[in-house]
């Protein structure tokens, strides 16, 4: 046990040490909270990008399902955005931004087959198949982040 009669200022030192421990603990909690909030916001953006990309893939499939001829007549190597207008989805060359942060578009490419019927860089043009590259981009922390998915669509109905 400490003899406080002979130790002047010992109570003050205990108070300063106690306040220091409480301050460091509080600062640690606030720092951890800020970190978790930043991670949650980032995860929210990643989740939204994934949902937008999934929706874009489904819309492009529905464009194919509506009419292969109209789908196949879309130009290759052109950025197309999707827009919901008049109760239906449409492809447009106008850039569309979602929440003024996310840009999504897709690009169609021709598909070629080799002698064995496999997809190849060159060969015979396959009029019944198109390669689709779907993109969702956003500007985060001074840089553009882009998620992409490539898939093939074939003429199922005509």
Question: How do the pLDDT tens digits run along the chain, 158 residues long?
Answer: 555 555 666 778 888 889 999 999 999 999 999 998 888 877 788 899 999 999 999 999 999 999 999 999 999 999 999 999 999 999 999 998 999 899 999 999 999 999 999 999 999 999 999 999 999 998 877 888 899 999 999 998 76
81 close to 104: Cβ distance less than 8 angstroms: yes
C-alpha dist (Å) from residue 17 to 10, 13, 21, 129: 11, 6, 6, 73
What was the pLDDT predicted at 1? 52
What mean pLDDT value characterizes the chain? 89
Indicate the pTM of the whole model.
0.73
Residue with the two structure tokens 């999504």: 104
What was the pLDDT predicted at 55? 95
What was the pLDDT predicted at 5? 59
Rounded-to-integer distance, Cα 113 and Cα 126, Å: 6
Give CA torsion, residues 44, 49, 54, 55, to 10 deg: 100
127 close to 116: Cβ distance less than 8 angstroms: no
Rounded-to-integer distance, Cα 63 and Cα 75, Å: 14
Where exactly are the structural domains of the chain?
Answer: 10-154
**Centroid of chain to Cα 97:** 13
Copy the structure tokens of residue 103: 């840009």
Residue with the two structure tokens 């929706």: 55
């Amino acid at each position: 046990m400490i003899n406080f009669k002979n130790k002047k200022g010992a109570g003050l030192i205990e108070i300063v040490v106690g306040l220091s421990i409480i301050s460091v603990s509080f600062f640690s909690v606030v720092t951890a909270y800020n970190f978790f909030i930043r991670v949650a916001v980032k995860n929210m953006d990643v989740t939204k990008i994934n949902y937008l990309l999934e929706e874009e893939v489904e819309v492009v499939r529905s464009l194919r399902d509506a009419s292969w001829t109209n789908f196949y007549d879309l130009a290759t190597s052109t950025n197309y955005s999707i827009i919901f207008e008049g109760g239906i989805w449409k492809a447009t060359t106008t850039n569309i931004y979602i929440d003024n942060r996310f840009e999504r578009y897709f690009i169609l490419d021709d598909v070629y087959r080799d002698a064995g019927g496999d997809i190849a860089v060159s060969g015979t043009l396959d009029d019944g198949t198109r390669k689709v590259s779907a993109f969702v981009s956003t500007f985060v922390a001074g840089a553009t982040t882009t998620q992409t998915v490539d898939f093939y669509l074939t003429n199922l109905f005509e």
